[in-house]
Amino acid sequence: MQRTVVVTGAGISGLAACCHLAKYAHGTKVILLEASDRLGGWLHSTRTERGAVFEHGPRGIRPAGPVGKNTLKLVSDLGLENDILPVPGDHPASQNRYLYVDGKIHKLPSSIGSILQTSPPFTKPIIGSILKELMVRREKTPDETVHAFMQRRFGKELADIAVDSLCRGVFAGDCRKLSVRSCFPMLYNAEQKYGSVVLGMLFGGGNCPSPRNSGLPIVTTKKSWGRWSLTFKRNSKALPSLSNYSFKLSILYYSMHVLVMPEFRLFNVSIRVVKLQDGTIKADHVISATSAKALSFMLPPSMDALTEELRQILSATVAVVNLEYEGSVLPFVGFGHLVPSLEDACVLGIIYDSVSYPQQNRTGAPTTRLTVMMGGAWFLEQIGDPDKISQDHLLKVAMEAVRCHLGVQTDPLYSITHIQKECIPQYTVGHWKRLENITNYLHHSKVPLSVVGASYQGVSVNDCIYFAQLAVDKLLGKS
């Protein structure tokens, strides 16, 4: 009899799982259930009538490392090679990242020379912290906060400024709460294996197997890309930017008989029945690709132990304000700048989109596109209840940040504000244990359920794709 696999959630994780099923699970009926009327989840962009593209979620994907190469292989398999916008490794957007500290913008050290000398906002050459790290004893802790780990190994200044900012620029999170073991497994493993992060970086390898060779990953290595984004160059009016990726994946569903159903409620996985408002679907297996919290609300009372674990994986809310200014208004070129929480807990950072992707500027006169990101782990404390805050207020705070940090005095020509509610999972200390409990529960109860998505093993687009494919491989007995 034909096997049915239900995938819940059409974000990049659910889409990647469907794509992998289509490729390897021949004869399987795949049903994709999505609560909203849009595919892509947090991959979401707007193209204005003037041709400018504004990303409200991710905008850059790292090509490096095994998971980066794996994504590029998928791009290649989908025939999207010509639709991606690479940012070369030697481009200012790849080379220059900034921090806003003490009311000034500082370039982050990016060369050997710059770590040998004192580069503000740091008060000592970074090489000193690196050399000292080699002498720090290995601690056999099961987990600790990113801040505690980095302060212990590299000193307080780097932890307070650089590491704090990095956690805001990837997790919109607080390094004093996030887990080093789950957020930066390479750093944690380097200490466990080599007794030092520096030695681990020098001698350690990647964290997952390399994908089979395809043309694209090799090209990126040769040309040394810093990051890339997707756009439909050939039919630029069709659909905007990164959303095209999910659109293209969705074309695949229609050709492989994936049924896309909006507005559903999963009722009981244990008896292999997915219950919708208007009927039921019998499933041999369910792949959950929603957030852990969303899944927890779909499970029956008999799965309370699993529900309990899932509810502990919370996510941060980010206000994303896209701004478009007339002319070239930036005093610096680069990827953008981050703001450490000690400087200003509210504004996480500003991305200089038009530097990385000038192709996505409006046609005609020169413009500057910026994205201000605010809130994250500090949303409630700094901004308030996301259900009550006005978009006008957020726009004012964002414009003030651009004025104050970058000296831009004019008002933007165009703006879009989104409150991305609970958009980035926070892997707090002990996350590894929660994952272990979830895995053990699923294994021992033999419930036909797999969990994939940003809530578990990595928030980047690369990780979402890689781990969704891995779950499908496991289901098919391929790994």
Ligand X SMILES: Cc1cc2nc3c(=O)[nH]c(=O)nc-3n(C[C@H](O)[C@H](O)[C@H](O)COP(=O)(O)OP(=O)(O)OC[C@H]3O[C@@H](n4cnc5c(N)ncnc54)[C@H](O)[C@@H]3O)c2cc1C
Instruction: Select the span of 17-25, 243-251, 406-414, 418-426 touching ligand X (CB under 6 A).
Output: 418-426
Task: Return the number of the residue (203 or 297) whose C-beta is nearest ligand X.
Answer: 297
240 binds, among ligand X, ligand LM7OVKF4, none (CB under 5 to 8 A by kind): none
Phi and psi angles of residue 81, each rounded to the nearest 5 degrees, phi first: -50, -40
Task: Return the number of the residue (198 or 435) whose C-beta is nearest ligand X.
Answer: 435
Q: Could you tell me which of 388, 356, 394, 387 has the C-alpha nearest to residue 373?
A: 394
338 binds, among ligand X, ligand LM7OVKF4, none (CB under 5 to 8 A by kind): ligand LM7OVKF4
Binding residues vs ligand LM7OVKF4 (CB under 6 A):
62, 97, 166, 168-170, 172, 227, 335-338, 348-351, 373, 424, 459-460, 462
Task: Name 275's bridge partners.
Answer: 280
* Minimum distance from residue 107 beta carbon to ligand LM7OVKF4 (Å): 11
Residue 415 makes contact with ligand X by CB under 6 A = no
351 binds, among ligand X, ligand LM7OVKF4, none (CB under 5 to 8 A by kind): ligand LM7OVKF4
Among 182, 290, 356, 415, binds ligand X (CB under 6 A): 290
Among 5, 7, 9, 354, binds ligand X (CB under 6 A): 9
Using CA atoms, how far apart are residues 112 and 288, in angstroms rounded to an integer? 45
290 binds, among ligand X, ligand LM7OVKF4, none (CB under 5 to 8 A by kind): ligand X
Task: Return the number of the residue (449 or 459) whose C-beta is nearest ligand X.
Answer: 459
Task: Return the number of the residue (198 or 348) whose C-beta is nearest ligand LM7OVKF4.
Answer: 348
- Please, are residues 229 and 71 in contact by the beta-carbon 8 Å criterion? no
Q: Cis omega (within 30 of 0) on the bond before 120?
A: no
Using CA atoms, how far apart are residues 260 and 39, in angstroms rounded to an integer? 10
Using CA atoms, how far apart are residues 238 and 12, in angstroms rounded to an integer? 20
Amino acid at 80: L
8 binds, among ligand X, ligand LM7OVKF4, none (CB under 5 to 8 A by kind): ligand X
Q: How far is CA 474 from each of CA 46, 80, 93, rounded to the nearest angstrom?
A: 36, 27, 38
Residue 454 makes contact with ligand X by CB under 6 A = yes
289 binds, among ligand LM7OVKF4, ligand X, none (CB under 5 to 8 A by kind): ligand X
Count of other CB atoms within 10 angstroms of residue 33:
24
For every residue of 208-270, DSSP letters joined together read SPPPPP-HHHHHHHHHTEEEEEE--STTTTSS-TTHHHHHHHHHHHHHTTPEEEES----BTT
Using CA atoms, how far apart are residues 106 and 53, in angstroms rounded to an integer? 28
Task: Return the number of the residue (306 or 465) whose C-beta is nearest ligand LM7OVKF4.
Answer: 465
Q: Could you tell me which of 74, 191, 75 has the C-alpha nearest to residue 141?
A: 191
Task: Return the number of the residue (8 or 231) whose C-beta is nearest ligand X.
Answer: 8
Residue 359 makes contact with ligand X by CB under 6 A = no
Residue 11 makes contact with ligand X by CB under 6 A = yes
**Cα dihedral 150, 156, 160, 161 in deg (nearest 10):** -90
* Minimum distance from residue 137 beta carbon to ligand X (Å): 34
* Minimum distance from residue 467 beta carbon to ligand X (Å): 9
Q: Could you tell me which of 362, 353, 342 has the C-alpha nearest to residue 402?
A: 353
Residue 43 makes contact with ligand X by CB under 6 A = yes
Amino acid at 330: L
Site map 49..88 versus ligand X, x via CB under 6 A: --------xxxxx---------------------------
Residue 34 makes contact with ligand X by CB under 6 A = yes
97 binds, among ligand X, ligand LM7OVKF4, none (CB under 5 to 8 A by kind): ligand LM7OVKF4
Q: Could you tell me which of 168, 115, 155 has the C-alpha nearest to residue 339?
A: 168
* Minimum distance from residue 362 beta carbon to ligand LM7OVKF4 (Å): 22
Using CA atoms, how far apart are residues 334 and 92, in angstroms rounded to an integer? 5
Residue 289 makes contact with ligand X by CB under 6 A = yes
Q: Is 4 helix (H, G, I), strand (E, B) or coil?
A: strand
129 binds, among ligand LM7OVKF4, ligand X, none (CB under 5 to 8 A by kind): none
Burial-class residue 282 by CB neighbours within 10 Å (0-12, 13-18, 19+): exposed
Q: Could you tell me which of 75, 73, 72, 120 has the C-alpha nearest to residue 99?
A: 120
Among 383, 424, 470, 475, binds ligand X (CB under 6 A): 424
Residues that bind ligand X (CB under 6 A): 8-14, 33-36, 41-43, 57-61, 264, 289-291, 294, 298, 318, 320, 420, 423-424, 453-454, 459-462, 464
